[in-house]
Amino acid sequence: MAQKGNLLTFRPDVKVVDATIRDGGLVNDFYFSDEFVTNLYKANVKARVDYMEFGYRADKEMFDTESFGKWKFSSDEDIRSIVGDNNTELKIAIMADVGRCNYKEDIHESSESPVDLIRVATYVNTMPAALDMIEDAHMKGYETTCNIMAISNAKESDIAASLEMLGQSPVDGIYIVDSYGSIYPEQIRTISEQYMEIGEKYDKYIGIHAHNNQQLAFANTIESCAQGVSYLDATMSGMGRGAGNCPMELLLGFLKNPKYKLFPVIQFIENNIVPLKESGMEWGYDIPYLLTGHLNQHPRAAIAAMKEGRKDYSGFYKEIIDKD
Amino acid sequence: MAQKGNLLTFRPDVKVVDATIRDGGLVNDFYFSDEFVTNLYKANVKARVDYMEFGYRADKEMFDTESFGKWKFSSDEDIRSIVGDNNTELKIAIMADVGRCNYKEDIHESSESPVDLIRVATYVNTMPAALDMIEDAHMKGYETTCNIMAISNAKESDIAASLEMLGQSPVDGIYIVDSYGSIYPEQIRTISEQYMEIGEKYDKYIGIHAHNNQQLAFANTIESCAQGVSYLDATMSGMGRGAGNCPMELLLGFLKNPKYKLFPVIQFIENNIVPLKESGMEWGYDIPYLLTGHLNQHPRAAIAAMKEGRKDYSGFYKEIIDKD
């Protein structure tokens, strides 16, 4: 596929999606202060970010509200307490996980909600359930995306079948998700091409959500963008599960659309991320994350090793190779 | 230029160059313990890395030997005290900086030296001096490379002229050097193409030395490799000036040549890099480095800010924009 755009121009179809609360919430069990979330909202508005994802809308029957901060559930009321009527250009997103969201009841008509975009997260083997959620959200008036997770462990034929199903659904956008941070730029270009073909055939936009296990989250994001992918996920200082995500400060530094402002992002990091890190929150590239990424494994073993403060990297390596 | 190789094969022309002592020495003024350097040498031999760069061969008349560790000067004797007769497949490199090396006197006949490769570092405006150093080292029997620094601030026509001069010289290899960590993968592909054309015309190999200001050191290294670049610099845990370099652990995880072994690298990091970091040595991606990289500036202001422990990122940003 021919490259779209170049380094001196910008593509107006590109949208930046801040996923700090949702993916960052996997670091701190969604216990963000209201001040942090309000400051993030204001920074995103100032930086002219296109979407801000709050957390998951998890089912309160399945997950104990005492064990998680409120952004695990992201009720319309809690979002409204931050954004009011959201009289800004910033759109609001939440994520709904297949099998973990009571969407029929917990997702209300969009006319009654501050949310604009419902992002449905699924694995290839739960596509029918994802399609039902997409249909439901679409009927309720939302923009929708489908985020197919862990594609590095899925067969190309299953991905192709899933993309065809989505092409024929009312979904607005389809996301490439590198859950394990195991995908190289060379592969991201091929995958982007595959997704873009479906996108062009069925008039869906394509997005990317990358992880930084091999320090490739930013590289993969901008490489897929050059292939025509247009919804780009990023988080402040890369805050996100394990090795984290594509850092917003790198992405906005790269994008040439003059509407985007880097300065509010740098200010937000200075005033909100630095204190969070100083309070002991940890994320970002480290050897255990590299190793699970390299071996194309879920990062859970690496997350556990980091939580225990393990530095016996070679012992950890031997353990996870045995599990491979 | 067509892609060379793919992700399931390997190119036997690819060589890995460990630059931990030389670029890492810019972090600690070259004060490495003999134990660290010996362990690094052993790890490189075990990992089947192709070259290990010791430090610079700086002129002792210009630089105070009391102010730097010995690897600022990397005498043949000091190298021999680590490698003995180096009866291994690992080749030994040092760097000689234009204007900072008394090469006529301090670089001896290769038959009397443990060094295999002299890497001549220059800016485009000192090419004639670099060529004299290359000629000198070549006549003394060394393999040579020319590392043209700071190309992101040089004109394409000057780079083209420099490459032509090098093509007609006895140099064996020419390095792409992203000194400021400001180059994107899209640009690295174009630059690689330009260097590869000269390399193919004059039978020189092409190398890459990347910096990590925008978390692109690894991505740029493997992208240039896919274009035919074959000498790949890396350092243990990315240790190097400012934001550091392409991490060896990522590079060896990527390369498919079965001779390369990741495990000794992970062991070296565990036993030698972790204690070094715990002793207070700092390098790697941080906001000030991102900002100088983003603005295509030398990292010196960012290094100073990091040394002072500054966290007022937005104030730093305003300062360096004023200097831009």
- Tens digits of residue pLDDT in B225-265: 999 999 999 999 999 999 999 999 999 999 999 999 999 99
Check A216 against B217: CB less than 8 A apart.
no
ipTM summary value: 0.94
CB contact under 8 A, B253 and A290: yes
Closest Cβ–Cβ partner in B223, B247, B311 for A185: B223
Would the CB atoms of A219 and B219 count as touching at under 8 Å? yes
Amino acid letter, B226: A
Q: Residue A35 in 3-state DSSP?
A: helix
Amino acid code (one letter) for A260: Y
CA distance B305 to chain A (A): 14
Cα nearest neighbour of B216 on chain A:
A219
pLDDT band at A324 (very low <50, low <70, confident <90, very high): low
Residue of B6, B9, B184 to mutate, interface with A, max A Cβ within 10 Å: B184
List average pLDDT for each run of 10 residues in chain B, which is 324 residues long. 81 96 98 98 98 98 97 98 98 98 98 98 97 98 97 94 98 98 96 97 98 98 97 98 98 97 98 96 96 95 96 96 76
Nearest CA distance, A270 vs chain B (angstrom): 6
Residue A154 neighbours by CB under 8 Å, 6+ apart: A123, A124, A148
Question: What does the block give as tokens for A149?
Answer: 């997770």
Nearest by CB to residue B214, choosing from A214, A218, A226, is A218
Question: Per the CB < 8 Å rule, is B314 touching A270?
Answer: yes
CB-based contact A249 B185, cutoff 8 Å: no
**Beta A173-177 vs A205-209: how paired, if at all?**
parallel
Task: Kindly state the tokens that stand for B37.
Answer: 């350097």
Over residues A5-21, the mean pLDDT reads 92
pLDDT tens-digit map of A221-260: 999 999 999 999 999 999 999 999 999 999 999 999 999 9
Contacts of B260 in chain A (CB under 8 A): none
| CB within 8 Å: B317 and A216 | no
Tokens read off for A319? 């353990």
- pLDDT for A262-318, tens place per residue? 999 999 999 999 999 999 999 999 999 999 999 999 999 999 999 999 999 999 999
Cα distance between residue B100 and residue B29, in whole Å:
16
Q: Which of A185, A249, A294 comes nearest B290 by C-beta?
A: A249
Give chain B's contact residues with A (Cβ, < 8 Å): 3, 6-7, 184-187, 212, 214-220, 222-223, 226, 237, 247, 249-250, 253-254, 262-263, 266-267, 269-270, 274, 287, 290-291, 294, 311-314, 317
Mutate to test the interface with A, among B214, B225, B256, B320 (most CBs of A within 10 A): B214
Distance CA B300, CA B311 (A): 16
Q: Which two tokens stand for residue A125?
A: 């083997």
**Token pair in block for residue B86:** 């180096």
Q: Are A115 and A78 in contact (CB under 8 A)?
A: no
What was the pLDDT predicted at B4? Answer: 86
Answer yes or no: do A267 and B291 touch at CB < 8 A: no
Instruction: Judge: B249–A186 Cβ closer than 8 Å, yes or no.
Output: no
Residue A97 DSSP code = E
pLDDT at position B5: 84
Compute the nearest-CA separation of B192 from chain A (Å): 16
Q: What angle do CA B167, B172, B176 make, to 5 degrees?
A: 75
- In order, the DSSP letters of B258-303 are TT--SHHHHHHIIIIIHHHHHTT---S--HHHHHHHHTT--THHHH
Under an 8 A CB cutoff, do A290 and B250 touch?
yes
Distance CA A110, CA A124 (A): 27
pTM flag (> 0.90): yes
CB A191 within 8 A of CB A183: yes
Closest CA to A273 of A301, A242, A323, A239: A239
Q: How far is B289 from chain A (nearest CA, A)?
A: 11
Write the residue in A214, A222, A266 that is nearest to B287 by C-beta: A266
Residue A283: closest CA among A305, A303, A257: A303
CA B168 centroid distance within chain? 23
| Contact by Cβ (8 Å): A194, A223 | no
For residue B266, give the chain A residue with the closest CA.
A314
Interchain proximity B250–A217, CB inside 8 Å: no
Choose among B186, B217, B290: nearest Cβ to A253: B290
Residue B23 has what pLDDT?
A: 98
Cα–Cα distance measured from residue A67 to residue B199, given in angstroms and rounded to the nearest whole number: 60
Structure confidence by residue, pLDDT tens digits, A146-181 = 999 999 999 999 999 999 999 999 999 999 999 999
Q: Which residues contact B309 (CB under 8 A, 6 or more apart)?
A: none
| Of A141, A144, A142, nearest in space to A121 by CA | A144
Q: Is residue A187 over pLDDT 70?
A: yes
Query: Would you call B179 helix, strand, or coil by DSSP?
Result: coil
Token duo for residue A182: 């195991």
Q: What is the mean pLDDT of residues A12-19?
A: 97
For residue B324, what pLDDT is reported?
Answer: 60
Q: How near does any CA of chain A get to the CA of B117, in Å?
A: 30
- Chain B neighbors of A317, CB-CB under 8 A: 262-263, 266
| CA-based nearest residue in chain B for residue A212 | B215
* Residue A9, min C-alpha distance to chain B (Å): 14
Cα Rg of chain A, angstroms:
19
* pLDDT higher than 90, residue A5: no
Q: What is the pLDDT of residue B1?
A: 58
B139 CB-contact burial (10 Å; exposed 0-12 / middle 13-18 / buried 19+): exposed
The two tokens of residue B192 are 């690689």
Separation CA B284–CA A287 (nearest Å): 14
Instruction: Tell me, letter by letter, the H, E, C secondary structure of A127-175.
Output: HHHHHHHHHHHHHCCCEEEEEECCHHHCCHHHHHHHHHHHHCCCCCEEE
Rg, chain B, Cα only: 19
Question: CA of A57, closest CA in chain B: separation in Å?
Answer: 32
